[in-house]
Amino acid sequence: MEHIIIGGVAGGMSAATRLRRLDEDAHITVVERSGHVSFANCGLPYHVGGVIEDRGSLLLQTPASLGRRFGLDVRVGTEAVQIDRERRVVVVRELATDTVSGLPYDHVLLSPGARPVRPPIPGIERALSLRDIEDTDALVAASTPARTAAIIGGGFIGLELAENLTRRGIAVTVVEAADQVMTPLDPEMVAPVHDHLRASGVVLRLGASVTAVGPDTVTLATGEHVPADLVVSAVGVRPDTRLADDAGLETGRLGGILVDSRFRTSDPRILAVGDAVEKRDALDGEQVLVPLANTANRQGRMAADVMAGLPAHDRPVLGTAIVGVFGLQVATTGWSEKRLVAAGRPHRVVHTHPASHATYYPGAEGMSLKLLVDRDTDAILGAQGVGREGVDKRIDVIATAMTGGLTASALADLELAYAPAFASAKDPVNMLGYVADNLRTGVSRSVQWHELADAVADGAVLVDVRTHEEHESGAIPGAVLIPVDELRGRLDEIPPGPVVVHCAVGQRGHTAARVLAHAGREVRNLDGGYRTWLAGTGLRHPVLAH
């Protein structure tokens, strides 16, 4: 069998090596346009910043090493220029010599990845991107003399580069057209990220667009000129479908290659994986674009199984992702509240602000977690987390629970590893489950930070059950202070009608709400407490204060 794999790195090389382990007799050719077929692309920003000092450590395999270990015919600096479906030949060109030749195939696997979006801005040709080793070398060279940098786009790559260019001593401005960075996050969850970026020296220009790139500045729509010896375009990526389009393969409404559950394109002899293909969303089954390395690696492995004749099938995607921002962990899985609202899907929301491990053990760090739950079925729809430590494993547990079909209430029953240095006896994931179960069973009722003003306008009395000292340091306007430990003796001070209680993060508020409920009052707890309200209303977020 002749197998041609177009594109290396995550999807292509996972497919090539898996295919060899399944079929020792197949002839496997890997065609890669760049000069490197196997590298750690997620580590590229950290080499730019000097965190990963040795460039060679990013180069995982070479054509020679892949040939020795796996018997692969790896051709770097070689571009696939055409797939001749009638003759079943891939036409390739060696870039160094401009030599064109044809490679016959039984199967082709397309893994071309995605191309950086280049907005149509005058002077944008000066902006650099970050996709491969060659881009990385160009960024390192350009960063050496630079004193100022403008990054267009506040997504994953934009923020990683903001951190790493700052590490090099460069004054960085991030220009983002949306009103927040990290658009998959909801506004109250991204607030501490904004604060942390600014505290780390990054200038944010949110809700701003670049209209021109000059020799040493970028110009915003407001007319402001932002100093920029170095300009990076990180506004996103789009599927690289040039070969697929030229070959007449079907693409979807989102611009990616359409494949079935066995990665087959509209031509069953041609498969496709990775950032170039549209995936199926785990929540609604619709087509989505999810350009993540984990997904590409897994799809490459499964596509190899298909090419070897095994009964492999793709799975829907959750979009689980994490990024590090100056020591802050920012993670997400599933849908955001914004997306649920836009889709009109009924849901509940749970906010908590736990510690990364037992607070009596030194080094505990605060985090903010958000869980999104189907109101009717208790299914987990998504989660977000922000904090200095421990966010990664909590999001991973929730993503695993979603894949396994566990309900939100079932999170309370998970048996998770505990020791004071690593977690609490009631892990933050368990606590999300407790809150979700209380809401499901009607033991608790909650109000969200963005619903509070309407609740008060409708006649609810807002009661702050924190301490006097906490109230004096900052309070929600109009709140009546009755500390939770005094509540039972002061019930007659609360005017008739519905009540909303709040504490700092929600836990004391829950206790107060139960006291009031047993007293016959209609009561709701402010979900996530004062801390979530602060973040959502745009005031300074305190969770990251030392």
Tokens representing 352 are 């908590």
Residues 421, 346 share a domain = yes
Nearest in space to 328 (alpha carbons), one of 185, 179, 431: 185
Specify the CATH number for the domain of residue 530.
Answer: 3.40.250.10
Its sign, for the CA torsion 324, 330, 336, 339, is negative
- Classify residue 10: in a domain, yes or no: yes
pLDDT at 9: 87
pLDDT for 452 beyond 60: yes
Its sign, for the CA torsion 382, 388, 394, 395, is positive
Residues 6, 102 share a domain = yes
Nearest in space to 335 (alpha carbons), one of 399, 430, 410: 399
Q: What is the mean pLDDT of residues 239-248?
A: 97
Residue 136's alpha-carbon distances to 17, 27, 132, 251, in angstroms, are 26, 32, 6, 30
- Classify residue 343: in a domain, yes or no: yes
Residues 477, 386 share a domain = no
Q: What is the mean pLDDT of residues 17-45?
A: 93
pLDDT at 40: 84
| pLDDT, the chain, mean | 95
pLDDT at 539: 55
Nearest in space to 107 (alpha carbons), one of 367, 320, 306: 306
For the annotated catalytic residues, the residue numbers are 503
Residues 215, 136 share a domain = yes
363 C-beta neighbours (distance < 10 Å), count? 11
Tokens representing 441 are 């069973």
Residues 469, 430 share a domain = no
Residues 417, 453 share a domain = no
pLDDT for 543 beyond 50: no
Residue 521 DSSP SS3: coil
pLDDT one-digit tens code per residue, 488-530: 999 999 999 999 999 999 999 999 999 999 999 999 999 999 9
Nearest in space to 314 (alpha carbons), one of 268, 260, 239, 278: 260
Q: What are phi and psi of 171, to 5 degrees?
A: -80, 120
pLDDT one-digit tens code per residue, 350-374: 999 999 999 999 999 999 999 999 9
- Classify residue 543: in a domain, yes or no: no
pLDDT for 541 beyond 70: no
pLDDT for 437 beyond 90: yes
Alpha helices (runs of H) in 144-281, residue ranges in sequence order? 156-167, 187-199, 242-246
pLDDT at 120: 93
Nearest in space to 328 (alpha carbons), one of 237, 417, 390: 390
DSSP E strands: which ranges in 69-158?
73-76, 78-84, 89-94, 99-104, 107-110, 114-116, 148-152
Rg (CA), the chain: 26
Specify the CATH number for the domain of residue 128.
Answer: 3.50.50.60
- Could you list the residue range(s) of the whole structural domain that residue 465 is in? 446-536
103 C-beta neighbours (distance < 10 Å), count? 20
- Classify residue 512: in a domain, yes or no: yes
In whole angstroms, give the CA distance from residue 14 to residue 244: 21
Residues 410, 261 share a domain = no
Number of domains making up the chain: 4
Residue 82 DSSP SS3: strand
- Classify residue 320: in a domain, yes or no: no
- Classify residue 204: in a domain, yes or no: yes
Residues 472, 422 share a domain = no
Reported as a pLDDT band with limits 50, 70 and 90, residue 295 is very high
Q: What is the mean pLDDT of residues 273-284?
A: 96
Alpha helices (runs of H) in 404-502, residue ranges in sequence order? 428-441, 452-457, 468-473
CA angle at 203 for the pair 200 and 204, rounded to the nearest 5°:
115
- Classify residue 119: in a domain, yes or no: no
Residues 242, 109 share a domain = yes
pLDDT one-digit tens code per residue, 54-111: 998 888 888 999 999 999 999 999 999 999 999 999 999 999 999 999 999 999 999 9
Burial (CB count <10 Å: 0-12, 13-18, 19+), residue 438: buried
In whole angstroms, give the CA distance from residue 224 to residue 377: 50
Tokens representing 253 are 């409404």
Task: Name residues whose C-beta falls within 8 Å of residue 267's C-beta, 6 or more positions apart in sequence.
Answer: 85, 247, 249
pLDDT for 135 beyond 90: yes
> pTM for this one?
0.94
Residues 433, 354 share a domain = yes
Residue 283's alpha-carbon distances to 121, 180, 316, 340, 429, in angstroms, are 36, 25, 8, 10, 21
Reported as a pLDDT band with limits 50, 70 and 90, residue 394 is very high
Instruction: From 441, 464, 495, give the residue that closes a domain.
Output: 441
- Classify residue 318: in a domain, yes or no: no
Residue 359 DSSP SS3: coil
Residue 250's alpha-carbon distances to 247, 277, 362, 467, in angstroms, are 9, 11, 57, 63
pLDDT at 243: 97
pLDDT at 540: 45
pLDDT for 546 beyond 90: no
pLDDT for 316 beyond 70: yes
pLDDT for 39 beyond 90: no
Residues 291, 361 share a domain = no
Higher pLDDT, 487 or 544: 487
Residues 102, 247 share a domain = yes
